[in-house]
Amino acid sequence: REGKIGLATGLFMAGSSFLGAWWFTGNRLVGCVMGGAILCDMILGAVAGGSIPLIFRALGRDPAQASSIFLTTLTDGAGFFIFLGLASLFLF
């Protein structure tokens, strides 16, 4: 269920960032990189945001205590590498 929500919000945000980057730079490929990176990061964030608390609960830990730290680290780190990976694929 979280994946579907991430996909829906990711598609909206990806479309917005694609159009914004394309309009700002005049390069459609830069828009594709931005849109793709936002879409992947939104889906990853939604799935991880639903999974990490369940993993903590299964380990006997309080899910509210450290879930946000792991979620932020995962989405920021992965988002950075997703963006750079897509940029190297599309632009070089």
Domains of the chain by residue range? 2-91
Tokens of 31: 């828009």
How far is residue 35's CA from residue 16's CA, in Å, rounded to a whole number? 8
E strand or H helix at 53? helix 28-58
pLDDT computed for residue 41 by the predictor? 92
Residues 6+ apart with CB under 8 A from 65: 56
pLDDT computed for residue 62 by the predictor? 86
Tokens of 78: 């992965």
The dihedral sign for the CA sequence 39, 34, 37, 17: negative
Q: Sorting pLDDT into bands at 50, 70 and 90, what band is 17?
A: very high
pLDDT digits (tens, 9 = 90+) for 21-80: 999 999 999 999 999 999 999 999 989 988 999 999 999 888 888 888 999 999 999 999
Length of the chain as a residue count: 92
pLDDT computed for residue 6 by the predictor? 81
The CATH number assigned to the domain with range 2-91 reads 1.10.357.20
Q: What is the mean pLDDT of residues 3-13?
A: 87
- How many CB atoms sit inside 10 A of residue 46's CB? 21
pLDDT computed for residue 77 by the predictor? 94
Q: Residue 1 pLDDT more than 80? A: no
pLDDT computed for residue 26 by the predictor? 94
- CA proximity to 6, closest of 51, 43, 52: 43
